[in-house]
């Protein structure tokens, strides 16, 4: 327990230093991420914490490489810029923490697999969104297949979908080799995260709150635009992007558990 705690602290400090240098996380998000790393390390082990760090770093690297293009493509749409706050970290990581706690209490491998599925879903969703910005073709709404503005939730691109699929396969292969998962477990931790990523786009398209600017008429996810309050044009006010992320990590984890038990 002492070694796991020390490893968790070291990993948390490393993430804090890196993300604050690059201004990728707010201080609240840094504390939240660090706390999750230490909790997971103590409850399960340093391997699970290291995979969580790997997920953070993969998203961080993609953000760093594509940061300027993402910012220019979505600056009028998203409520916040590239820096993530504690609510986003909580939405993305809380399900994994619950899965680890259940694994510690019950000792059933289904909960450990659900943990990996939940963090890989976050990675797949982030990579699909970030890499999709590079697509030469405009994104299309996943439900209607109509062209939408870059950055609007529910919009997908073939490039983004392919990139997230590759990310899931690579993450699953690495996990399977290190933890010696069988083919069934390997397929579960690939398919469930990808299913969660697709569900994220569907829920983002149909249920997530969207606004329109009363000045320029531009669709946006901001509640203010052009210095004025925007008006809701679709979705439900309480279903923010962070809420959608949380719902979809739950879907990935629950799907993994159900299939593993069956």
Is 225 among the domain residues?
no
Residues 124 and 192 in one domain: yes
- CB atoms closer than 10 angstroms to residue 61: 11
Q: Determine the Cα angle at 100 with ends 95 and 106, to 5°.
A: 120
* The pLDDT of residue 134: 80
Average confidence score pLDDT of the chain: 85
- Residues 57 and 112 both lie in one domain: no
234 within domain boundaries? no
Token pair 């340093």 in the structure block, residue: 46
Q: Would 183 be classed as within a structural domain?
A: yes
Nearest one of 18, 23, 192 to 116, comparing CA atoms:
192
pLDDT of residue 72: 53
Residues of the chain predicted below pLDDT 70: 1, 62-82
Together in a domain, 134 and 258: yes
Residue 135: strand, helix, or coil? coil
> Are residues 111 and 38 part of one domain?
no
Residue 190 confidence (pLDDT): 94
Asked whether the CA dihedral 45, 95, 155, 175 is positive or negative, the reply is positive
Whether residue 197 contacts residue 230, with contact meaning beta carbons closer than 8 Å, is answered with no
The answer to whether the CB of 25 falls within 8 A of the CB of 33 is: yes
| Domain tally, the chain | 2
Does 142 share its domain with 262? yes
Is residue 191 one of the residues assigned to a domain?
yes
Between CA 256 and CA 262 the distance in angstroms is 10
Check whether residue 118 and residue 39 sit in a common domain. no
Whether residues 127 and 250 share a domain: the answer is: yes
Q: Answer whether residue 92 is part of any domain.
A: no
149 shares a domain with 46: no
- Indicate whether 161 and 257 sit together in one domain: yes
172 inside domain: yes
Enter the DSSP assignment of 211: E
CA 167 to chain centre: 12
262 and 165 within one domain:
yes
- Identify the pLDDT of residue 164: 94
Structural domain contains residue 160:
yes
The parent domain of residue 7 ranges over 1-62
Judgement on whether residues 41 and 127 belong to the same structural domain of the protein: no
53 and 115 belong to one structural domain: no
Enter the DSSP assignment of 209. Answer: -
Q: Is residue 187 part of a domain?
A: yes
């Amino acid at each position: 327990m002492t070694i796991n705690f020390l490893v968790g602290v070291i990993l948390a400090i490393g993430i804090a230093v890196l993300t604050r240098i690059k201004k990728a996380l707010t201080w609240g998000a840094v504390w939240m991420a660090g706390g999750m790393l230490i909790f997971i390390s103590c409850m399960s082990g340093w391997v699970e914490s290291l995979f969580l760090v790997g997920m953070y770093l993969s998203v961080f690297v993609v953000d760093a490489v594509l940061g300027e293009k993402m910012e220019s493509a979505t600056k009028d749409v998203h409520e916040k810029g590239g820096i993530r706050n504690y609510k986003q970290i909580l939405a993305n990581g809380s399900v994994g923490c619950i899965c680890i706690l259940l694994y510690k209490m019950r000792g059933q491998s289904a909960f450990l697999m659900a943990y990996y599925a939940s963090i890989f879903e976050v990675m797949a969703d982030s990579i699909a969104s970030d890499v999709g910005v590079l697509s030469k073709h405009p994104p299309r709404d996943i439900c209607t297949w109509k062209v939408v503005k870059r950055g609007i939730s529910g919009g997908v691109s073939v490039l983004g979908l392919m990139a997230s699929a590759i990310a899931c396969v690579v993450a699953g292969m690495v996990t399977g080799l290190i933890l010696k998962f069988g083919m069934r477990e390997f397929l579960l931790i690939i398919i469930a995260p990808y299913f969660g990523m697709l569900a994220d786009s569907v829920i983002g398209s149909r249920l997530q709150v969207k606004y329109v600017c009363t000045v320029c008429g531009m669709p946006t996810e901001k509640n203010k635009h052009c210095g004025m309050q925007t008006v809701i044009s679709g979705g439900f006010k309480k279903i923010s992007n962070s809420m959608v992320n949380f719902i979809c990590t739950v879907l990935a984890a629950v799907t993994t558990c159900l299939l593993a038990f069956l």
